[in-house]
């Protein structure tokens, strides 16, 4: 969609990648509110006004978890453009469109990248501009991978582990694999089937194929203790080489954009990417 005139009062619901587009195109001053649910971490590469405590961050628009947007709170701000998340159902779309033109996916389908493209279109740009934005992020990741891994093929497996048994693997953000890392058996199964694959201590042999683990856990200290309590854990190659990363660890910066954006990609390279490169060198897996 393309709006008839430049927006003056933009409300952005959850879409940190849209904030990056808006800032790039010079519309930051026109954003009157930005919101994220409590469970979503700040994107530290965005302007400070859009982080928690910033003047444009409004936690009243999403009262709790994703899926609980308050149309009434949005309406009270009198926006002339709303950018909404990809999970909106038809009822949410109808309510928000009644307040102001809504940028989201065409039918509420789960597609963040389409929202990026539609944000460019709504602000007078083209699909070509949106593609160049995406390509710039991919180039950053490819360059990192080439300079860090070279011709070495490395396998990353990504899974959840919040329970005493390993939980359902999740293939994670595309950002890890745009660097040239290969998907491990668990993430490959999830991506190909679209279904979570339950893994227990009795059938975790696939883990031995991974060079790197990225473990999603909201309680990383507890998860680490559970995993390390099993003697088989210490024998896995990724564990021996100190290449286990916990996504919920406050000392490990993994917050990054999904879908890919240039600032998010560069932040990934400068934080998680730098730590990964250091550990790979220490393990002797790359030159």
Tokens of 212: 């790197």
Summarised one tens digit per residue, pLDDT across range 57-101 is 998 888 766 557 889 999 999 999 999 887 788 888 899 999 999
Q: How confident is the model at residue 105 (pLDDT cuts 50, 70, 90)?
A: confident
Q: What is the pLDDT of residue 171?
A: 44
Task: Give the phi and the psi of residue 11 in degrees, each rounded to 5.
Answer: -115, 130
Going from the N-terminus, what domains does the chain have, and what CATH number goes with each? 10-125 (3.40.50.1980), 132-283 (3.40.50.1980)
pTM: 0.87
CA–CA separation, 246 vs 217, rounded Å?
Answer: 7
Indicate whether 18 pLDDT > 90: yes
Summarised one tens digit per residue, pLDDT across range 138-166 is 999 999 999 999 999 999 887 766 554 55
Summarised one tens digit per residue, pLDDT across range 197-256 is 555 666 667 778 899 988 877 677 887 888 888 888 899 999 999 999 887 666 666 666
How many CB atoms within 10 Å of residue 182? 15
Tokens of 99: 């307040």
Q: State the chain's mean pLDDT as an integer.
A: 84
Find the distance separating the first CA and the last CA of the chain, reported in whole Å. 49
């Amino acid at each position: 969609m393309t709006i008839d005139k430049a927006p003056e009062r933009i409300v952005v619901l959850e879409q940190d990648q849209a904030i990056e587009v808006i800032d790039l195109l010079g519309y930051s001053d026109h954003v009157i509110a930005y919101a994220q649910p409590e469970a979503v971490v700040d994107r530290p590469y965005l302007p400070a006004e859009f982080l928690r405590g910033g003047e444009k961050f409004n936690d009243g628009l999403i009262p709790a978890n994703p899926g609980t947007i308050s149309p009434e709170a949005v309406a009270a701000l009198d926006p002339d453009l709303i950018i909404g998340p990809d999970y909106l159902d038809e009822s949410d779309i109808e309510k928000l469109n009644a307040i102001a033109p809504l940028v989201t996916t065409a039918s509420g389908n789960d597609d963040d990248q389409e929202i990026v493209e539609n944000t460019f279109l709504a602000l007078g740009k083209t699909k070509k501009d949106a593609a160049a934005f995406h390509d710039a992020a991919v180039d950053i990741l490819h360059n990192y991978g080439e300079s860090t891994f070279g011709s070495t093929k490395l396998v990353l497996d990504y899974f959840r582990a919040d329970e005493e048994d390993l939980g359902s693997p999740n293939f994670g953000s595309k950002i890890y694999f745009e660097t040239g890392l290969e998907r491990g058996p668990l993430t490959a199964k999830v991506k190909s089937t679209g279904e979570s694959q339950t893994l227990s201590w009795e059938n975790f042999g696939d883990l031995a194929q991974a060079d790197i683990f990225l473990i999603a856990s909201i309680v990383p200290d507890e998860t680490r203790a559970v995993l390390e309590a099993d003697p088989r854990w210490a024998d896995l190659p990724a564990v021996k080489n100190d290449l286990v990363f916990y996504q919920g660890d406050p000392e490990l910066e993994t917050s990054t954009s999904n879908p890919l954006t240039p600032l998010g990609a560069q932040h990934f390279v400068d934080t998680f990417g730098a730590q990964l490169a250091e550990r790979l060198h220490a393990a002797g897996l790359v030159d």
